[in-house]
Amino acid sequence: MASQLLRALRILFVLLVLVLLNPHKCNGMPELPEVEAARRLLQRCCVGKVVRRCIAAPDEKVFEGGISQKFAKHMTGSHVVAACRKGKQLWLELQRPPHPSFHLGMTGSFAALRPNGTVECAEYVNSKVDASQWPPKHWKFHLEMEPEKGAAAGEKVAFVAIRRFERVRLQADPRGEHPVKGLGFDPLLEMPPAEAFAEALATRQGPVKGALLDQVQPPPPFHARCPPRPIGRQLTPHRHAARVSQRVWATGLQTRCCTRRGCTPRRPAAP
């Protein structure tokens, strides 16, 4: 009996490993294009408008430092000047500090209810926003913007956090504070020339994949589970970063491909 149970556990373990390492399945966490899509949603619905009302859920895990009520009070009446992003960090620039900053974690997303009744969602594989009711299920805060002149209602925006690994902060200077301050260049906005990129990576110790995933250098332009396509058998995830030639880095930066079938580079829609 004990041997049969042990054999069953071994089979379950093997099946679990096969599921987790499925080469044809990409994890559904938000990457740079998804965070950029969320920023563009905030750009359309919040920038240039005043927050009429903000309601925040008392979630001490999502609101760093247990600031949910302080967040709601500060956001009410605030004028939104800009929606900003660097890497996977997202923030709204207000007319007066502190500014709200967000990290989408594993399942974070934004949804908007437009004045005409249509719903927009910045969603992806792991974040399926249920906007059949407002505010959506799993909301952590929602905003109601002042209506434009002649409009009966304003934009409504909600932050959704299903698994509560997401974070909301209030910061005096998000760009100059942790965690944004420690990030490298943004590959969607600040991609350096291939020569400079190759020179920077040549100083790194360790495998290529580890160097790319370290966001103190560049945030990864592709999904962590999808390593760059091997080019001439030189650019592989486990090859030492300093031993990759400049030509190979340049080719890799131009392609940004994925080796796994069914996984294509994702680009955000136009604003």
Catalytic residues: 30-31, 88
Question: Which residues pair with residue 102 across a beta bridge?
Answer: 90, 168
Tokens of 86: 């660097």
Phi, psi of 116 (to 5 degrees): -85, 5
Q: What DSSP string runs through the chain?
A: -HHHHHHHHHHHHHHHHHHHT-TT-------HHHHHHHHHHHHHHTTT-BEEEEEE---TTTBTTS-HHHHHHHHTTPBEEEEEEETTEEEEEESSS-EEEEE-TTT-EEEEE-TTS-EEE--BTTB----SSSSPTTEEEEEEEPPPTT-SS--EEEEE-SSS--EEEEES-GGGSTTGGG----TTT-PPPHHHHHHHHTT--SBHHHHHH-TTSPPPSS-TTSPPPPSTTTS-TTSBGGGS-HHHHHHHHHH---SSTT-----PPP-
